């Protein structure tokens, strides 16, 4: 938990008014000299000293804010994340979308046979290697984090029936696929939204998980007055297990970010197939331009 979130929690539970001490007048507590409000020789500072008698509790002038409790979504079905500011953000969770034996077979074939590679991205001009392996399918190239994955129309034969099944479940069509391989618990994807202009407005993204379960986390975009501070935003966690299909739709990419964080205990490999629809980059746009700025 970040320092700031921790502090906010501690404040929330400690900031109760303390009972006032009452003592018969004229008595002096043990081990205390009668107190003066002026500084005693050898005391710290030179101003009037606060004593038990002079101390008064003042309510903080700024209201103490609670960090909203994180929600967990595990139940199959449709879930509304929020309604605004850009519209309704929704998820559909379908655990067991692929039955276990089918998921086992697809997982081992894709792990062995997809052309996995490690992509180099750029942040503020600095190169870094993505902490996962990826491959891309689509008639168009896909640019994010200032680096481009080349168009690749050589779909692995196993991906085509999977795409058909996902299209049927979502009633959407997808012309592209970003495949992610998390080799172990140290592989991850940081906070981002899939909001490149090339994905269109309010995209539906279908994400099929295979292999070890990993936690998919979402956090709401803070309102402008928070100046990019995510301390008090709503958070949701969705465990994504072998064979689960997750659909993100509506305003989810406008109003929420998502990540799969590193884990500090052992995790086996996990493949995530994210089916998308891509469009030619809008005229005059630099490839990879986001509809709003977030770093991937
Ligand atoms: O691995 C996942 O579940 C998420 C992948 C993801 O966020 C992405 O490809 O944009």
- For residue 199, give the nearest of 178, 220, 217 by alpha carbon: 178
Residue nearest to atom 9 of ligand 1 (CA): 274
Which protein residues are within 6 Å of ligand 1, measured from CB?
A: 178, 180, 189, 194, 207, 216, 240, 258, 260, 272, 274
In a domain, 2, yes or no: no
CATH number of the domain encompassing residue 232: 2.60.120.590
| pLDDT at res. 5 | 52
| Nearest atom (ligand 1) to Cα of 246 | 3
| Nearest atom (ligand 1) to Cα of 240 | 3
Residue nearest to atom 1 of ligand 1 (CA): 272
One pLDDT digit (tens) per residue for the chain, 296 residues: 455 555 444 443 333 444 444 444 433 344 444 343 344 444 444 445 556 677 888 877 777 889 999 999 999 999 999 998 899 999 999 999 999 999 999 999 999 999 999 999 999 999 999 999 999 999 999 998 889 999 999 999 999 999 999 999 999 999 999 999 999 999 999 999 999 999 999 999 999 999 999 999 999 999 999 999 999 999 999 999 999 999 999 999 999 999 999 999 899 999 999 999 999 987 777 777 776 544 44
214, 260 Cβ separation under 8 angstroms: yes
- For residue 208, give the nearest of 165, 173, 250 by alpha carbon: 165
In a domain, 42, yes or no: no
CA distance 193 to 248: 11
Number of domains in the chain: 1
Residues 6+ apart with CB under 8 A from 114: 135, 156, 179, 181
In a domain, 47, yes or no: no
Output the CA 40–ligand 1 centroid distance in Å.
64
In a domain, 200, yes or no: yes
| pLDDT at res. 26 | 38
| Nearest atom (ligand 1) to Cα of 272 | 1
| pLDDT at res. 53 | 75
| pLDDT at res. 210 | 98
| Nearest atom (ligand 1) to Cα of 274 | 9
142, 122 Cβ separation under 8 angstroms: no
For residue 107, give its domain range: 78-276
Residue nearest to atom 10 of ligand 1 (CA): 194
List the structure tokens of 106: 């697809």
Residue nearest to atom 2 of ligand 1 (CA): 272
In a domain, 14, yes or no: no
- Mark out the alpha helices in the chain (DSSP H runs): 3-14, 100-113, 159-170, 252-255
| pLDDT at res. 54 | 79
Tokens 């900031």 sit at which residue? Answer: 15
In a domain, 265, yes or no: yes
- For residue 238, give the nearest of 115, 90, 25, 109 by alpha carbon: 90
In a domain, 143, yes or no: yes
CA distance 243 to 107: 9
């Amino acid at each position: 938990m970040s320092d700031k979130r921790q502090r906010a929690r501690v404040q929330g539970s400690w900031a109760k008014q303390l009972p006032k001490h009452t003592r018969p007048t004229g008595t002096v507590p043990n081990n205390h000299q009668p107190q003066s409000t002026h500084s005693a020789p050898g005391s710290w500072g030179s101003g009037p000293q606060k004593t038990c008698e002079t101390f008064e509790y003042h309510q903080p002038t700024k209201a103490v804010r609670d960090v909203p409790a994180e929600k967990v979504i595990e139940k199959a079905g449709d879930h509304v994340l929020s309604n605004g500011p850009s519209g309704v953000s929704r998820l559909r969770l379908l655990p067991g979308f692929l039955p276990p034996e089918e998921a086992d077979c697809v997982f081992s074939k894709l792990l062995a046979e997809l052309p996995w590679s490690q992509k180099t991205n750029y942040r503020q001009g600095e190169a870094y290697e993505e902490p996962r392996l990826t491959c891309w399918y689509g008639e168009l190239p896909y640019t994010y984090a200032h680096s481009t994955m080349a168009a690749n129309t050589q779909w692995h034969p196993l991906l085509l029936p999977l795409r058909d099944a996902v299209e049927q479940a979502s009633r959407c069509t997808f012309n592209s696929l970003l495949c992610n391989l998390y080799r172990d618990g140290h592989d991850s994807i940081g906070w981002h939204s899939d909001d490149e202009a090339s994905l269109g407005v309010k995209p539906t993204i279908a994400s099929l998980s295979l292999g070890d379960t990993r936690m998919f986390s979402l956090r709401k975009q803070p309102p402008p007055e928070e100046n990019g501070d995510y301390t008090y935003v709503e958070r949701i966690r969705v465990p994504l297990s072998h064979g689960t299909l997750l659909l993100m739709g509506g305003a989810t990419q406008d109003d929420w970010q998502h990540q799969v964080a590193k884990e500090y205990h052992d995790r086996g490999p996990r493949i995530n197939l994210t089916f998308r629809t891509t469009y030619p980059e809008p005229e005059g746009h630099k490839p990879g331009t986001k509809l709003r700025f977030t770093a991937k």
